[in-house]
Structure 1
């Protein structure tokens, strides 16, 4: 055995993309009791993982990636600048740890993708004509609702 493990938490750096990585020191794990079914085990063993990533204090990610990650995190971002992910899908700690880390890395990978800039376009001549024709037709329908002028009744 060479001493290497497949555990991503064992390394000091965790790869996000080919060039970007996060430091293990920016991650904090808390084990909590999972909700839901689990029999007698559920009230005794803390298998759920609450993974915290210090986004504000991170120095390895560029600012634009941090900004997009904060927007993608939404309500999972604390006022202190931490992304909090809770994983309790599986019955074992290890699977929940892997799940939480993978979800964090997915979020950070999405944040690395720059959004395509929107190009302003003008409406086509045909669409303008169709819009005005629809407005005229609607106006005619409303005009027909008025009182008739030719009846003395």
Structure 2
């Protein structure tokens, strides 16, 4: 898990939602911007991986951005934004393992067939015979 929070830039804006007059006066919503290509923390392969996975969140200029307005204070929103963007990028860097196709063993096949046979016998014994 890499900490690249020194490369962030922030914008503030007026938040919507609850807060009364405070909403109309104070800029509490925080937008965190991170230029993916200019990062010195990640290698070129990691940057390419981030671009591919987070392509819907990266704008034309190459900025990954996230806006948070959950809290009523700017500092709490800034901290949440930093946490979220680091979490999103670190999740994007995880490469899932390739699944290798396997066949069921003979014992597994036999166990399945035995279970089916047992259930079949049980139902057969329930039938009414003349």
**1:102 match:** 83
Aligned CA distance change for structure 1 residues 79 and 40 (closer, same or farther; 3 Å): same
Q: For residues 108 and 32 of structure 1, do their structure 2 counterparts lie closer, same or farther at Cα, with a shift above 3 Å needed? A: same
Which of 13, 21, 43 pairs up with 2:3?
A: 21
Aligned-residue offset at 1:121 = 6.6
Tell me the CA shift for residue 113 of structure 1: 1.4
Quote the residue 2:44 is aligned against: 63
Distance 1:55 1:117, change over 3 A: same
In structure 2, distance between residues paired with 1:66 and 1:58:
8
Call closer, same or farther: CA 1:95–1:105 in 2, change over 3 Å.
same
Q: Structure 2: where are the runs of 5+ without partners?
A: 104-108, 110-130
Q: Cα distance, 1:27 vs. partner?
A: 1.0
The residue that corresponds to 1:85 in the other structure is: 66
RMSD value over aligned CA atoms? 2.2
Higher relative contact order (Cα pairs below 8 Å, separated by 6+ residues) = 2
Runs of 4+ in 1 over 3 A off after TM superposition: 118-122
Distance 1:101 1:33, change over 3 A: same
